[in-house]
Structure 1
Amino acid sequence: MRTKHRPGHTPRSGLLLLPLLVLFWLSPPASAEDWVYRVKPGDTLWDLAGEYLKPGIRWQRLQRHNHIGNPRQLPPGTSLHFPLQWLQQEPAVASVTAVAGTATYRPADGQPAQPVIEGMQLQVGAMLQTAAQGSLSLKFADGSRMQLRSNSELHLDRMSRYGRKGMSDTRMRLQRGRINNDVAPQKGGNASFIVETPSATSSVRGTQFRIDAATGSTDTEVLHGSVMVEAAGPGTVLPEGMGASVALGQTTPPRAQQLLPAPDLSAIDKRYLAGETKLQWTPLEGATGYRLLLSTDPDFRTTQLDTTVVTAGIDLRDLPEGDYHLLLSGIKQSLEGREARAAFVVDATPKPPFVLSPQPGSAVYSPLALAWAQSDGASAYRYQIASDEDFSSIVLEADGIADTRVVLPDQLAPGSYYWRVAGLDEQGQRGPYGDPVGFRLRDGNATLDMNVNAAREVSFHWNAEKDAQGYEFQLSRYHDFRVIKEARQVDKPSVTLGKLAPGNWYVRARALDAGGGNGEFPPAQKIRVPWGFFSSAPWHP
């Protein structure tokens, strides 16, 4: 059925649409002095006025400012404009979400510096400092996050919030050091997140960027979004993947430079052994160095290591066992490029066995015997002997040894060596080696020459040892020397005894060291003094 309309009569459905049309067509354009709010389902003017407007400013003024005909119908998705001077304004705080190393803060009231503690809330005017390898992370009222890196100083100059959930105004001053920022999208045309340094000002509205305030210059690097960088003169907008260096007193616009791409970390292993961690990556073309961050936190709220290197690798042998996350970027003309991430574990199982013999600095005689304690989780062992402490020149090694002691054949010449031992698990996977143990190997096959004169006085002579500070001589009737008949310390490799009774004797001698690392005696020699034997000629048992 077709409906007829009388001239000048507006249908009822048209009346219902009229307030919506008025709302859409008469909403004023955004003003630089307005905060713009996007209407959500269920919003009403009186609720929004109570949440965001100062006391005494009624919702009707907000209705007139936005030319709203029917305050009961606010279509979701439309924009409401709040004049800034009408908004409630209250101080905001910054929450400390993580701390590592040494970090302190000094309140605005001039109280002495205090340690920064995770969970504390910082007020406007606080000054933060981090020491070498110290770091902390902050969360601001709008959800933005910032990490203050090592050797840095930051001043929280302004932290304000308009309304309980509205626009925020955050301004800080990086006096020295480096920060990483992840800024939440700012609500409203006047929302701000501004970082000042001695030579530049950076303002953002939702981005990821880094700032380094060095002596005489400031580097800004944009990883996502865009950043306005200003010096004493005109500013420059840096888009994603660009950076700029601003010198102190610079009056020309900052020059945007392309950041280096992320390095290739495919060569980073998933597992390293404690005491042996050495990271290597593919050299990045154009990079004059690298910035390396290491953290146990995948979000890098704190760092265990923050350093730069000039080569495509770093020695981390002192890194304790644990799970680690790596963040690496190339450096070109002081600007750090895009970041690459990798994760790895430092494993210390099976634990290195305790060495028993030879002990550090000791002198031992061939045949060489290595001994160590049982290690939990180890089903077999591997040892190495090298001529240098770095084990770049390995002279002897063996794998899959089930026992905790091994006697080596006479394969090593007398000299100075290092040895170490590691455990193997049931799958044959090696754990970390223990610390290198230095020792000196002496000739255990040297013969003690014996002379007997007519008075039946016995003399023993043996080869001199290099660097020996003296010698210790022992005589016994027993091969295990459980009862020692004669023990002497002499300066030279010889000793003269009184008369010896006929029969079997056991003798041995070892060199003495200045440091006390005398080591074990060499194998004993058995001699026999015959009845009625008188001679001054050399006699060899």
Structure 2
Amino acid sequence: MNALRRAIGPAALLWPAAMLWSPTAQAAPPSSPSAPAQAATASYVAVKGDNLYVIAERYLTRQRDFAVVQRLNRIADPYRIPIGRTIRIPVALLREELVSASVRAFSGPVTIAVAGRPVKITPGLPVNEGAEIETGADAFLSLRLADGSTVAIPSQSRVRIERLRRTALTGTVTRSFEIRRGRADAVVAPMKDPGSSFHISTPVAVSAVRGTAFRVAYDADGARAATEVTEGTVGFSAPGNPAATLVGAGFGAITEADGISAPIALLPAPALADPGRVQNEGDLTFRIVPQADAAAYRIALARDAGFLDIVREKESATPDAILPPVADGTYFVRIAAIDGHGLAGLAETYAFERRLNMVRTAMTEKRAGRDRYYQFGWQVLGEGAHRFRFQLGQCEGDAPPLVDEIGLDSQSVTLRNLPAGTYCWRVMSLRIGDGKAAGDWSAMERFHIASAR
């Protein structure tokens, strides 16, 4: 992966400070030589009509495990439980229910496979654990989880959903994604239940958070991983080293030969030159104000400001980026600088208008007897109705044009017997569509007439 240019090696585990917080299902204190460790338990308050068989059917994986609950709580009669009594239930016995993510948006060649078989992708499609998602070139997919968290999978990536489950009674939700190649961007909603978890792992690293925005990248060829944190805090620890390295917002970390790097400050967000310019030509062109210490730049286009519906992405070694055309409309461009470690820095987002209105021009000269005819023609690319303006004049000085035709319907102008000299000419296409009018000039064309005859 080009984004990771620093030599890095052995496996590493990434654990956040959140993993140290106590969950809802409380565990007993560390055991002492005289007292065996107790399993984590959840609490349930009995209501009218409850008995151990009802509770087991409602919450436990196996109904016969009511006997474990009976012994733990020293309940004499499983059919009789006083209303309001608090009952401790081992978390390990609680039933887990599968939950689904759903397809928020997608574009390009995307495959979702379940048990090795591809499924037809549609917006809103439920996606469960075990599904494997693969994106091709210029392809993107975003998933929305039940709590509003999102996972965006950009092009050239392969991600497997390892676990999407909710525990009965506690409501604890476990979500785990594995990046097998490429990248994933996550925005995780704050978790009201401290027992819930959210993991994005790679074969060499695991990242777990409780409510934050972060990115994970994995280079399968080099077995290297990188994480960038834009909100919240993520902690990392290497195998055999329980001490966590905390990485806060505005910092990143990479795997290195001896474990996890120290937090690295992300580059500040770059600026886009001429951000208000309408993108009216065939390709999309963006010029980023050059930034010190930037080894490359990442540019992404989306239909929404949250970048859940991405349509284009590119990594450019220069501040000038050219992206393939898109349909007319309002879009958002997000730019970030990439440092020498391969970490993408903080990003800036701009809205822009895409209104294709590109004019191609040509001139021909013909003789008819003693007369010379100069035909100026043009073609226009872009939807909607068009009107044209033609100007021809001297190339030097500030003199007004010799010819200025306004409101033309045709796509050509013919002039006869121009005097000798050097001329410049151009055409404006006034595009009217979607309740808007936009005028764009063609490039200035120059030609020379040596003699009028």
Q: TM-score, normalised by structure 2?
A: 0.69
Shift of 1:294: 0.3
Does structure 1 residue 116 correspond to structure 2 residue 124?
no
Question: Which of 421, 431, 444 is the aligned partner of 2:439?
Answer: 431
Contact 2:312-2:323 within 8 A present in 1 as well: no
Q: 1:419 to 1:386 in 2, by over 3 A?
A: farther
Question: Which of 147, 151, 154 is the aligned partner of 2:156?
Answer: 151
Name the counterpart of 1:171. Answer: 176
Contact 1:229-1:254 within 8 A present in 2 as well: no
Name the counterpart of 2:415. Answer: 407
Contact 1:382-1:422 within 8 A present in 2 as well: no
Shift of 1:174: 0.7
Aligned equivalents of 2:186, 2:402: Cα separation in 1? 51
- Per-residue displacement from partner, 1:273-317 (whole Å, max 9, x unpaired)? 344853334333332222111011232223111111233343458
User: What stretches of structure 2 of length at least 5 have no aligned partner?
Assistant: 1-23, 29-38, 74-80, 396-400
Amino acid at match of 2:253: A
Report SS of the residue matched to 2:92. helix
Aligned equivalents of 2:234, 2:274: Cα separation in 1? 33
Question: Which of 345, 351, 367 is the aligned partner of 1:337?
Answer: 345
Structure index of larger Rg: 1
Q: 1:194 to 1:352 in 2, by over 3 A?
A: closer
Question: Which of 174, 177, 192 is the aligned partner of 2:197?
Answer: 192
Amino acid at match of 2:343: L
Name the counterpart of 2:259. Answer: 252
Report SS of the residue matched to 1:268. coil
Report SS of the residue matched to 1:85. helix
Question: Which of 321, 327, 333 is the aligned partner of 2:328?
Answer: 321
Contact 1:386-1:419 within 8 A present in 2 as well: no
- Per-residue displacement from partner, 1:442-474 (whole Å, max 9, x unpaired)? 87855xxxxxxxxxxxxxxxxxxxxxxxxxxxx
Higher relative contact order (CA 8 A, sep 6+): 2
Amino acid at match of 2:27: S
Shift of 1:131: 0.4
User: What stretches of structure 1 of length at least 5 have no aligned partner?
Assistant: 1-27, 75-79, 388-395, 447-541
Name the counterpart of 1:305. Answer: 312
Report SS of the residue matched to 2:279. strand
Aligned equivalents of 1:291, 1:437: Cα separation in 2? 33
Contact 2:388-2:427 within 8 A present in 1 as well: no
Question: Which of 178, 192, 214 is the aligned partner of 1:209?
Answer: 214
- Per-residue displacement from partner, 1:463-509 (whole Å, max 9, x unpaired)? xxxxxxxxxxxxxxxxxxxxxxxxxxxxxxxxxxxxxxxxxxxxxxx
Amino acid at match of 1:94: A
Q: Which one has a larger percent strand, Structure 1 or Structure 2?
A: 2
Aligned equivalents of 1:157, 1:29: Cα separation in 2? 22
Does structure 1 residue 240 correspond to structure 2 residue 249?
yes
Question: Which of 223, 232, 253 is the aligned partner of 1:225?
Answer: 232
Q: 1:338 to 1:371 in 2, by over 3 A?
A: closer
Amino acid at match of 1:257: I
Amino acid at match of 1:199: V
Task: Report sequence identity in percent.
Answer: 23
Report SS of the residue matched to 2:166. strand
Aligned equivalents of 2:59, 2:201: Cα separation in 1? 29
Report SS of the residue matched to 1:193. strand
Shift of 1:200: 1.5
Aligned equivalents of 1:379, 1:231: Cα separation in 2? 66
Contact 1:267-1:282 within 8 A present in 2 as well: no
Aligned equivalents of 2:129, 2:25: Cα separation in 1? 34
Does structure 1 residue 133 correspond to structure 2 residue 138?
yes
Aligned equivalents of 1:399, 1:81: Cα separation in 2? 88
Q: 1:29 to 1:200 in 2, by over 3 A?
A: closer
- Per-residue displacement from partner, 1:367-402 (whole Å, max 9, x unpaired)? 423246899655551457999xxxxxxxx9965634
Question: Which of 7, 26, 31 is the aligned partner of 1:30?
Answer: 26
Residue-pair matches, total: 390
